[in-house]
Copies of this chain bind each other. A is one copy, B any other.
Amino acid sequence: MKRIAVLQAGGPTPVLNASLASFVEKARSSGHLLFIQGGYQGLADGHFIEASDTFLAWICNNAHVPGACLGAGRFQLKEKTFNLCIQQLQQHRIDTLVGIGGNGTMAALHKLSEHARQMEMDLQIVGIPKTVDNDISCTDHAPGFGSAARYVATSTRDMSRDLLAMKGFEKVRVLETMGRHTGWLAAASGLLREYDEEGPHFIGIPEEVIDPEHLTETVGDALAKFGSALIVVSEGVLWERERPVARAQVNGRHILGGVSQQIAHYLEKQLGVDGIRSELFGMNQRSFSMAVSDIDRAEARAVGETAARLMNDGETDFMVSIRRQDSYTYSTTMEAVPIQEVFVQGEQTMPKQWIHHPENYHHWLRPLVGEGMPSYPRPL
């Protein structure tokens, strides 16, 4: 019987466990399932869990739970670690390695596949995409992003109403989304904006360097016209010394966060406005159960199921990709794309024409965030 090892890696999303659960439901009759705890580090260290019926049932019962049943994390795989991973896979007589993750995971899967080939090991490789940043290439979008975008878009509109109410007291706010190298989430903050009075009045994304003068002018204009201004930026936006702002360093990786505070301080000085609040959208972007988009959850399940089906068909070295058939009625199909291609293409940034024509981006985005956000009347 085929021995299938499954891992999750990268940061969690609110629908990551839905992909795992639906893969497991579909694949449990296809072979003997093993689970690797703690991503690639867990693989290198040999943290394998043999799947009992109780464990399989536990995975399936977690389909609606945020986080990652198998543990997530951000380990950079080094050359010598790849060999350790292959040794572990050989020792546990693994035929198929399934990885649920983002860009880093797809790159690691691709390299593991190459190492296995060099070591003449027959290893089937299956990639299941997940991200809140939407920076995976070779797919229309990836599960996790729709829910994160729903959270950011709704929060921004609601906080904008709060700010308009408080403008006699607090005039400018700078909000910060996730997004290390791409602006998909920050740009989603404008999705529900219906009136000029509502924010965001300025969106800063990593794809384009912020011009401080243009920012000051835009915020000053909004202040003059509406009495308040709301700014949204990605954590990875380039500011001042044109490097992203890091607030900590863990395992050699810079944890971003804090650029919103720098921008708030800058605007206080430039505009002579006191007490500008900066705020991170924070962990809820990747975990808040109440903002999960129905379509995002359904697609998270569908990529898991499709991965199991294609695996059973004997496909290898692929990632499941979501292909949009029709953007007016929003229909999609799931297909395999070469994982090498995902690796080669690297991070998917926002297309220029969507940055400069947000209405086109919003048209593309709207079906992903789901329903249930009623219109608000124009503010006073």
Contact = CB atoms under 8 A, between A and B. Distances in A.
What copy number does this chain have within its complex? 2
12 contacts: A11-B166, A38-B168, A67-B379, A71-B166, A154-B290, A155-B283, A158-B289, A170-B250, A248-B274, A279-B280, A282-B282, A290-B290
A159 B71 CA distance: 14
Contacts of A69: 165, 380
Contacts of A72: 165-166, 169
> Which 9 A-B residue pairs are closest in the complex by CB-CB distance?
A67-B161, A68-B165, A250-B275, A67-B165, A162-B287, A248-B275, A158-B287, A73-B169, A72-B165
A377 interface: yes
Interface string A186-211: 00000000000000000000000000
A66 B379 CA distance: 11
Contacts of A158: 14, 66-67, 283-284, 287-289
B61 A165 contact: no
Which of under 10, 10 to 19, 20 to 34, or 35 or more describes the interface residues of A? 35 or more
Interface string A344-380: 0000000000000000000000000000011011011
A13 to B, nearest CB: 9
A52 interface: no
Nearest to A55: B380
A67 B291 contact: no
B248 A162 contact: no
